[in-house]
Amino acid sequence: SNVSAISGATGDDLQKLRDKAREMGAQTKFSASESADAMSYMAMAGWKTDEMLNGISGVMSLAAASGEDLAKTSDILTDGLTAFGLKAEESGRMADVMASASSNANTNVSLLGESYKYCASTAGAMGFSLEDVTESLGLMANAGVKGSQAGTTLKNAMINLAKPTDAMAGVMEKYGISLTNADGSMKSWNEIVEDLRNSLGGLSEAEQTSAVATLFGKEATAGMLAVINAAPEDVEKLNTAINN
Alpha carbon separation from 184 to 123, 128, 154, 162 (Å, rounded) = 19, 16, 23, 14
Amino acid at 79: D
**Phi and psi, residue 31, nearest 5°:** -80, 165
Mean pLDDT of the chain: 91
The pTM of this model reads 0.89
Residue range 202-216, pLDDT digits in tens: 899 999 999 999 999
- Is the model's pLDDT at 1 over the cut of 60? no
Report pLDDT digits (tens) over 144-190. Answer: 999 999 999 999 999 999 999 999 999 999 999 999 998 999 999 99
| Rounded alpha-carbon distances, angstroms, from residue 32 to 135, 217, 220 | 34, 48, 44
What burial class does residue 237 get, using C-beta atoms within 10 Å of its C-beta: 0-12 exposed, 13-18 middle, 19+ buried?
Answer: middle
